[in-house]
Amino acid sequence: MSLVDRSTRLNAASQGAEKTRPAGKGRLAALETSLAGWVLPILLVALWEYLARLGIIASNVLPAPSAIAEAGWAALKSGELVRNMGVSTLRAFAGLFVGGVIGLAFGIANGLSELSHRYTDTTLQMIRNVPHLALIPLVILWFGIEEEAKLFLVALGVFFPIYINTLHGVRTVDPQLIEMGRVYGMSPLTLFRRVVLPGALPSIFVGLRFALGIMWLTLIVAETIAASSGLGYMAMQAREFLLVDVVVLAILIYALLGKLADVLTRWLEGLCLQWHPAFQAKRD
């Protein structure tokens, strides 16, 4: 008894010691680490501006950053930029939602049920071998250039990474934990909610990250080829009028939206996977 008590106290003491870390000196180093990544891009943009002003980079090849910013400001004021960004974002997430839910559902079903896996997995794997962007001509024939076309392509594109990773996650949940759940009399539903799903979550997030990349890529291609609104359409129209600054602007905004989606996922991941040692280490 006393041994146990003593060890708890010892542990508590060592934990206290861990928390009182020397501060102050680390502050500057931390600032340096967080800014280090930005040094090179800022230098490059400055160099770009300089070369463009000197006329070494022709403005009809690559306009100066300041010219692009101006074009951005003009598009923002006219409301065109916000509208097109809204349309593209909505398309992207609608497709992600539809494809993601279907992928999640099949992943869970095939991870849990051998029967379901036997009957559907081969078919799903076969469809995977068709590059979804190759379907664009067919999709245009089916849906024209309406919203359904983009939704279909994005949903198809994000389906696989989510399906495969959910399946993998569900199948690799620690069987010892599942057995533990059984010993403690968990119902199948409780077992799924408290053991299987949280266990599969890290893998599902990996799938989501892959899916986000595919989502933007699919949308860019689809909007560039067949659309009457959205960022890709904006870029294509600008190309016809030789507005290089708007074209570059559209590309930069795609990059920004991609980054934003990634940040959002990381945040969500950090929230859902707080328990994970990898994420605990990161937060410290």
Amino acid at 274: Q
Based on the shown chain and the rule CB under 8 A, indicate whether residue 16 belongs to the binding site for another protein. Answer: no
Q: Least distance in Å: CB of 6 to another protein?
A: 9
At 183, list the tokens: 């010993």
Restricted to residues 168-187, the positions that interact with another protein (CB under 8 A) are 176-177, 179-186
**Segment contacting another protein (CB under 8 A): 3-11, 60-68, 99-107, 205-213?**
3-11
Based on the shown chain and the rule CB under 8 A, indicate whether residue 189 belongs to the binding site for another protein. Answer: no
* Listed residue (216, 218, 114, 100) closest to 162, CA to CA: 100
Nearer to another protein by C-beta: 83 or 171? 171
Nearer to another protein by C-beta: 11 or 78? 11
Nearer to another protein by C-beta: 122 or 176? 176
Total binding residues toward another protein, as defined by CB under 8 A = 29
Restricted to residues 243-282, the positions that interact with another protein (CB under 8 A) are 273-277, 280
Q: Least distance in Å: CB of 199 to another protein?
A: 8
Size (the chain), residues: 284
Q: Least distance in Å: CB of 239 to another protein?
A: 49
Exactly one of 5, 114, 240, 284 binds another protein (CB under 8 A); that residue is: 5
What per-residue string of b and e applies to 70-94 under the rule 16 or more CB within 10 Å gives b? ebbeebeeeeebeebbebbbebbee
Q: Least distance in Å: CB of 2 to another protein?
A: 9
| Cα 256 from Cα 273, distance rounded (Å) | 25
* Listed residue (35, 226, 231) closest to 133, CA to CA: 226
Contacts of 208 (CB under 8 A, 6+ apart): 100, 161, 162, 165, 265
Q: Tell me the helices (H) and strands (E) count for the chain, helix number first.
A: 13, 0
Structural contact between residues 218 and 133, judged by C-beta atoms closer than 8 angstroms:
yes
Q: Least distance in Å: CB of 282 to another protein?
A: 13
Structural contact between residues 121 and 103, judged by C-beta atoms closer than 8 angstroms:
no
Point out which residues bind another protein (CB under 8 A): 1, 3-5, 7-8, 11-12, 176-177, 179-186, 194-195, 198-199, 201, 273-277, 280
